[in-house]
Amino acid sequence: MSTLQGLAPPAPDCDPPLRDPSPAARPLPSGSCDTHFHVFGPAARYPMDPRRGYTPHEAGLDDYRRVMRALGIERGVIVQPSVYGTDNRATLDALRAGGEAFRAIVVPAADIGDDELAQMHELGVRGIRLNLLNRQMVGVDAALAVLARMAGRGWHLQVLTDLGRDPDALGRLCEQAGVPVVVDHMGKLAPSTRRHPLMDRLADGSCWVKLSAPYRVSAEASPHDDLTGLARALAEANPERVVWGSDWPHTELHEGTPSAASLAALVHRWFPDEALCRQICVTNPARLYGFAVAG
């Protein structure tokens, strides 16, 4: 596993890795949910899959709680990363430790048993991640077969794909899935995008989108001014199908990861209307992940 030694000093809008982040000048709305973060390590307990495409630094739930305090986040969704393949122990152990304020998305093996799925649901798992960009650990057919067994419990399909390269991929998945489809990282669309089949699928309610990992989509440095139009276009397509996520701990960005405060400021810049900001950060994720709707 890589270490943090020898990294470049963080840029002004970046936090030192795994230290207390600077508080947001304007916290996110009360009851906000970060719908996309990961946990990694310790390596001795949770070995990584040899097929992985990258090696992140260790970052645990206690480290993430510092981000929650800095931004005013009250709920979170732990997303199984590709580096663990179908070994969900790190994600599930963090979910178990986090309690009622957390949910999770997993990557199960195709032959997972019904009892294990039921146990995952009781812990707070609410969906399966299908990663079509990094090395694939579970195939489309296998993921959909497992989801069919959990559709009655409200699970969904979370997909990481590049809809700019394959605009029809989402339509095919929505038709096959039989459950809600949630698109990671704005579908990796070009920042200039204003019309796309993703917007059509949002409009008809057949999918959701995460406004997550802006640095993976933007062609500009923070504060990613080129993304404002795209973020607003996605929300305008259907404000009830948009959620926000931090993508902490920002895997593969080893030289100065974005500050927690800058990510919060970006949300407020995109959505200055307080009611819409609250819907995206609080109300929508409560419905999608089965949290009590905050008052």
The catalytic residues are 247
| Run of H or E including 65 | helix 61-71
Say if residue 10 is preceded by a cis peptide, omega within 30 of 0.
no
Calculate the alpha carbon distances from 74 to 70, 215, 288 in Å.
Answer: 11, 23, 16
DSSP string across 248-292: BT-TT--SSPBPHHHHHHHHHHH--SHHHHHIIIIIHHHHHHTPP
CB contact at 8 A, 22 and 260: yes
Integer CA distances (angstroms), 288 to 104, 148, 198, 241, in order: 12, 17, 18, 9
List the one residue out of 213, 265, 211 whose CA is nearest residue 23. Answer: 265
Neighbour count for residue 161 (Cβ, 10 Å): 19
Q: Is 112 helix (H, G, I), strand (E, B) or coil?
A: coil
User: Can you read off the two tokens belonging to residue 242?
Assistant: 């948009």
- Could you list the beta-strand ranges (E) of 60-205: 75-79, 102-106, 125-131, 156-160, 181-183
DSSP symbols for 72-90 = T--EEEEE--GGGTT--HH
Residue 85 one-letter amino acid:
G
What's the CA gap between 18 and 33, in Å, rounded? 20
